[in-house]
Amino acid sequence: MRSMFAIAGVINYLTVVFLNAFTDLGHKIIIQNSVFKVYEGSTQIILTAIVNALILLPFILAFSPAGFLADRFAKNSIMKYSSIAAIIITLIITYAYYQGWFFVAFAMTFLLALQSAIYGPAKYGYIKELVGIKFITAGNGAVQAVTTAAILLGIIFYTLLFDALLKDNFSTKEDILHVIAPLGWLLVLGSVIEYFLASKLPSKMNEASERKFRFKRYFSGAYLRKNMIMIMRKKEIFDAIIALSIFWSISQVVLAIFGEYAKSELGITSASAVQGIMALAVIGIVFGSFIAANFSKYYINTGLSALSAIGIVVILFSIPITTSISVLVAEFILFGLFSGMLIVPLNAKIQYLSPNVHLGTILAGNNFVQTLFMFAFLMLTTIFAYFGTEAQILFYLMGFSGIYLAYILFRRYFILSFWTFFEFIFKIRYRFNYSGLENIPQEGAVMLMGNHVSWIDWFILQLPLERRISFMIEKDIYNWKFAKRVFRLGELIPVSKKASKDSFFETSMKLKDGKIIAIFPEGEISRNSKVSKFYRGYEFIDRGGAAIVPFHIEGVFGSLFARHKGDAKRCFLRKREITLCFGEPIYQEIKAEELREKVINLKCKLI
Do 65 and 181 belong to one domain?
yes
> For residue 472, what is the enclosing H or E element?
strand 469-474
For 5-61, how does the pLDDT look when each residue is reduced to its tens digit (9 = 90+)? 778 778 888 888 898 888 888 888 887 777 777 776 667 767 777 777 777 777 777
What is the tens place of the pLDDT at every residue in 463-522? 999 888 888 877 777 777 777 777 777 778 887 766 567 788 888 888 898 899 999 988
Task: Quote the CA–CA distance of 585 and 187 in Å, as a whole number.
Answer: 58
End residue of a domain, out of 426, 455, 479: 426
Domain containing 115 equals 2-426
Summarize the confidence of residues 286-311 as an average pLDDT. 90
- Report the 10 Å Cβ neighbour count for 123: 23
- pLDDT confidence tier of residue 112, bands split at 50, 70 and 90: confident
User: Lowest-pLDDT range, 37-41, 359-363, 397-401?
Assistant: 37-41
378 and 507 belong to one structural domain: no
Smallest Cα–Cα separation from 246: which of 21, 63, 412, 409? 409
For 59-93, how does the pLDDT look when each residue is reduced to its tens digit (9 = 90+)? 777 777 777 777 777 888 888 888 898 899 889 98
Clarify whether residues 198 and 168 are in a common domain: yes
Q: What percent of the chain has pLDDT over 90?
A: 19
DSSP strand pairing (446-450 vs 547-554)? parallel
pLDDT band, very low/low/confident/very high, at 302 (cuts 50, 70, 90): very high
Residues 399, 460 within the same domain: no
Residues 589 and 451 in one domain: yes
* pLDDT per position as a tens digit, 308-327: 999 999 999 998 888 888 88
Radius of gyration over alpha carbons of the chain, in Å?
A: 28
Q: What is the DSSP string of 307-348?
A: HHHHHHHHHHHHGGG---HHHHHHHHHHHHHHHHHHHHHHHH
Span 129-146, mean pLDDT? 81
Q: State how far the Cα of 304 lies from the Cα of 346, in Å rounded to an integer.
A: 9
| 248 and 346 co-located in one domain | yes
567 pLDDT above the threshold of 60: no
How many domains in the chain?
A: 2
Question: C-alpha distances in angstroms, 247 versus 9, 241, 360, 574, 591?
Answer: 31, 10, 22, 37, 54
Q: What letter does residue 534 receive in the DSSP assignment?
A: P
Residues 442, 418 share a domain: no
Residue 281 belongs to a domain with what CATH number?
1.20.1250.20
Strand 493-495, strand 469-474: pairing: parallel
Same domain, 105 and 246: yes
Last residue of a domain, one of 426, 447, 468: 426
Q: Select the more confidently predicted residue: 607 or 426.
A: 426
Short-list 246, 267, 268, 248, CA closest to 256: 248
**pTM as predicted:** 0.73
Residue 430 has pLDDT above 60, yes or no: yes
Higher-pLDDT residue of 224 and 455 is 455
Q: Is 444 left (phi over 0), alpha (psi -120 to 50) or beta?
A: left
Last residue of one domain, picked from the residues 373, 404, 426: 426
Q: Which CATH number covers residue 540?
A: 3.40.1130.10
For residues 7-29, one letter each, b for 16 or more C-beta atoms within 10 angstroms of the residue's C-beta and e for the rest, the string is eebbebbbbbbbbbbbbbbbbbb
Taking residues 413-436, what's their average pLDDT? 89
pLDDT per residue over 166-192, tens digit each?
A: 777 666 777 788 888 888 898 899 899
Half-sphere exposure of 331 (CA within 13 A, CB side): 19
Helical ranges in 39-168 per DSSP H: 41-61, 63-72, 75-99, 102-131, 136-166
Look at residue 170 in the predicted model and tell me its pLDDT.
66
Most confident of 355-364, 419-428, 481-490, 522-531: 419-428
**Residue 42 or residue 105, greater confidence:** 105
Taking residues 262-276, report their average pLDDT: 72
| Single-letter code of the amino acid located at 550 | P
Q: Are 495 and 407 part of one and the same domain?
A: no
Element (H, E) at 547: strand 547-554
Does residue 421 sit in the same domain as residue 512? Answer: no
- Same domain? For 477 and 574 the reply is yes
Q: What whole-number distance in Å separates Cα of residue 550 and Cα of residue 548? A: 6
Both 169 and 59 in one domain: the answer is yes
Cα angle value 156/294/144 (rounded, 5°): 35
What integer best gives the mean pLDDT of the chain?
Answer: 83
